[in-house]
């Protein structure tokens, strides 16, 4: 064998060994590559909502059979460094699935088994509704982003609640489940408070926490409810409905979910109102209507059309809103960060900016079924490297950075 050929063989052997070691050290890396391949070759060629439905059906089946238990043991966050106590609940890990993926609460067991620390179902509305005509969900792969104008397609709050209650009429086991509620499209704004309250009543006994969603861009006028004077009656009515719908001694934590497109003073006003009404927290943020700074071609962006943009382009605006909230509310509210979280570093950055928990949707679509596990594994490594014994205040958490309100005034 010539020297050149031998050198080439040596180089290949070293590379293969390196790859093997890297895989042994981080099995998540090769799983991610496999899913990337599947995504590029199969899923990307399907319409986004069809791919979603196919993946969703598999997760649902896994949850409905004994597979969930096995999966949960393999994929669930077990490292004690990841545990978070917030909202009076125990979370095995800080990463949850954001609202919109499991609108009708059909797959909470399967989603929990994939390793999410919690699952937010919904948005559900008081009355069942079909949502917008299809197509209504689009990928922008160059940005690892999505555009959607689903329009709260769902079977109604009561149906989701019945599913969560299960055949025995009581929720048993499974992950922490939040229920996200929205306004029925055909209900006029003047009746919004009663409409939200009807959903709250329907889910009060099965929700570990409830989120008032006033920030989706796909229900006309919904985001106007973020103005403090319009938001107040909605939150008051929902709080009363939750208190009336639960037995003695149980108080359902209540949060409000806001858009990344609010101005700084609007963010402050929501924070002040949440503190005044003794809400438990705020989720920051929903999708954006902005199309600034995208790598995708103008034609692709135009083809997707109107709707909410999610994924990495949201990272900056969502982080700015989170920082502003933390600066305004101090430690009086639990903040759940969402918007463009796709890597453990993204999640860590939100925790450092004052979030107690984080959520994602688009990262899961691009990252695949093993993505929650990779995220939690990466976060655990990050926490240990920083010498923390936990992510919350008790464990030191990520060092809180000084707050700075970068949201435009
Ligand atoms: C297809 C799709 C549907 C969504 N539906 C809802 C919804 O029904 N209610 C809601 O509050 N947020 C909904 N969202 C917003 C997400 O919960 C999340 O706030 C947003 O996508 C930002 O996070 P991400 O960048 O990790 O996706 C939806 C997002 C997507 C992509």
| Structural domain for 233, as ranges | 28-395
Query: Residue 166: its pLDDT value, please?
Result: 87
- The pLDDT tens digits for 5-16 are 555 554 454 344
In a domain, 142, yes or no: yes
In a domain, 14, yes or no: no
Query: Residue 133: its pLDDT value, please?
Result: 96
What residues are labeled active site? 216
> In a mutational test of the pocket of ligand 1, which residue from 218, 256, 361, 366 has the highest number of ligand atoms less than 8 Å from its CB?
361
Query: Residue 408: its pLDDT value, please?
Result: 54
Number of residues assigned to the chain? 409
Pair 177, 164: CB distance under 8 Å: yes
Measured CA distances, 395 to 227, 238, 331, 399, 400 (Å): 36, 34, 16, 11, 13
CA 179 to chain centre: 12
Query: Residue 404: its pLDDT value, please?
Result: 47
Query: Would you state the structure tokens that stand for residue 108, as one six-digit string?
Result: 């909470």
What residue ranges of the chain have pLDDT lower than 70? 1-31, 34-35, 42, 169, 392-409
Report which DSSP code applies to 389. Answer: S
In a domain, 406, yes or no: no
In a domain, 402, yes or no: no
In a domain, 130, yes or no: yes
In a domain, 184, yes or no: yes
Residue 371 exposure: Cα atoms within 13 Å on the Cβ side: 21
CATH label of the domain that carries residue 298: 3.20.20.70
Q: Which of 194, 349, 63, 153 is nearest to 337 (CA)?
A: 349
Query: Would you state the structure tokens that stand for residue 238, as one six-digit string?
Result: 């929902």
Query: Residue 393: its pLDDT value, please?
Result: 53
- The pLDDT tens digits for 283-315 are 999 999 999 999 999 999 999 999 999 999 999
Which residues form the pocket of ligand 1, taking CB atoms under 6 Å from any ligand atom? 98-100, 103, 122-123, 137, 146, 148, 150, 152, 180, 213, 216, 257, 286-287, 310-311, 314, 338-341, 360-363
Report the nearest-CA residue for atom 5 of ligand 1: 100
d(C-alpha 186, C-alpha 340), whole Å: 31
Tell me how far the alpha carbon of residue 98 lies from the centroid of ligand 1, in angstroms: 6
Helix (H, G, I), strand (E, B) or coil at 258: strand
Query: Would you state the structure tokens that stand for residue 57, as one six-digit string?
Result: 């059906």
In a domain, 35, yes or no: yes
- Ligand 1 atom closest to the CA of 154, numbered from 1: 8
Report the nearest-CA residue for atom 22 of ligand 1: 339
In a domain, 49, yes or no: yes
Report which DSSP code applies to 251. Answer: -
pTM: 0.90
SS3 for 46-76, per residue? CCHHHHHHHHHHHHHHHHHCCHHHHHHHHHC
- State the total domains in the chain: 1
Per-residue buried b or exposed e for 273-306, using 16+ beta carbons within 10 Å of the residue's own CB: bbeeeebbbbbbbbbbeebeebebeeebbeebee
d(C-alpha 230, C-alpha 209), whole Å: 22
């Amino acid at each position: 064998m010539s020297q050149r050929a031998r050198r080439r063989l040596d180089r290949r052997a070293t590379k293969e060994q390196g790859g093997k070691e890297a895989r042994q050290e981080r099995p998540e890396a090769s799983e991610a590559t496999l899913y990337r391949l599947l995504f590029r070759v199969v899923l990307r060629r399907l319409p986004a909502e069809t791919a979603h439905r196919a993946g969703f059906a598999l997760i649902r089946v896994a949850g409905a059979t004994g597979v969930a238990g096995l999966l949960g043991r393999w994929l669930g966050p077990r490292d004690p460094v990841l545990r978070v106590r917030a909202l009076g609940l125990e979370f095995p890990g800080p990463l949850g699935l954001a609202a919109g993926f499991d609108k009708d609460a059909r797959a909470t067991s399967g989603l929990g088994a994939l390793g999410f620390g919690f699952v937010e179902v919904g948005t559900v509305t008081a009355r069942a509704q079909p949502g917008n005509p299809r197509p209504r969900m689009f990928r922008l792969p160059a940005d690892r982003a999505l555009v959607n104008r689903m329009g709260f397609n769902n079977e109604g709050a009561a149906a989701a609640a019945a599913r969560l209650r299960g055949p025995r009429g009581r929720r048993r086991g499974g992950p922490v489940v939040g229920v996200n509620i929205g306004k029925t499209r055909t209900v006029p704004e003047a009746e919004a408070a009663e409409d939200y309250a009807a959903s709250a009543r329907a889910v009060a006994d099965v929700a570990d926490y409830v989120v008032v969603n006033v920030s989706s861009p796909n229900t006309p006028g919904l985001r106007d409810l973020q103005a403090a004077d319009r938001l107040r009656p909605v939150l008051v009515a929902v709080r009363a409905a939750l208190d009336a719908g639960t037995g003695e001694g149980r108080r359902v934590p209540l949060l409000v979910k806001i858009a990344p497109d609010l101005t700084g003073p609007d963010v402050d006003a929501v924070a002040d109102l949440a503190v005044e009404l003794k809400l438990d927290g705020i989720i920051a943020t929903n999708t954006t209507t902005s199309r600034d700074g995208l790598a995708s071609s103008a034609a692709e962006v135009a083809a997707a059309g109107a709707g909410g943009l999610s994924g990495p382009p949201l990272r900056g605006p969502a982080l700015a809103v989170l920082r502003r909230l933390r600066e305004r509310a101090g430690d009086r509210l639990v903040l759940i960060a969402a918007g463009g979280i796709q890597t453990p570093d993204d999640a860590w950055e939100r925790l450092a900016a004052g979030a107690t928990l984080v959520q994602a949707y688009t990262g899961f679509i691009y990252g695949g079924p093993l993505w929650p596990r990779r995220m939690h594994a990466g976060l655990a490594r990050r926490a240990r490297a920083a010498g923390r014994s936990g992510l919350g205040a008790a464990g030191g958490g990520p060092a809180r950075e000084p707050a700075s309100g970068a949201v435009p005034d």
